[in-house]
Amino acid sequence: MADIEYWVYVDVPTKRILLHKSTCGACRGGTGMHGHQQPGVCWWQGPFTSRRDAWRYAESEGNRRGRAPRACGLCRP
Ligand SMILES: [Zn+2]
C-alpha cells in the first residue's frame, strides 16, 4: 500500500477548511464528502505527500478567508 497522502477540502461559503488523510472515509482520495465540487466554491486540493505541505496550503487558504483550518476529527491527520 502506498504511503498516506493528504488532502485539503475547502468550502468557501462556510469558510470550512479541513485537512484529511487520503484513506479517510470522508475523503477517499479526493472524491468523497459532500459529493460535489465547484471551482471557486468548494474543492479538494491534493494529494500532498507530506502533512506539512498540506497544512501549509490549508493555512494559506485560511488566511485568505479569515478562518483557521482544522484537521478532520475522524482520520486525525
Ligand atoms: Zn478525514
What's the whole-model pTM score?
0.89
Take residue 56 and report the three cell numbers written for it. Answer: 501549509
The pLDDT score that the predictor gives to residue 2 is 59
DSSP string covering 37-64, please? Answer: -BTTTEEEEEEESSHHHHHHHHHHHHHH
CA of 64 from ligand 1 middle (Å) equals 22
With a cut of 70, list the residues of the chain below it in pLDDT: 1-2, 33-36
45 alpha carbon to ligand 1 midpoint, in Å? 13
Give me the pLDDT at residue 67, please.
96
Whether 17 contacts 53, CB under 8 Å: no
Q: What is the pLDDT of residue 1?
A: 46
Distance from the alpha carbon of residue 31 to the mean position of ligand 1, in angstroms: 12
Cα 11 to ligand 1 centre (Å): 15
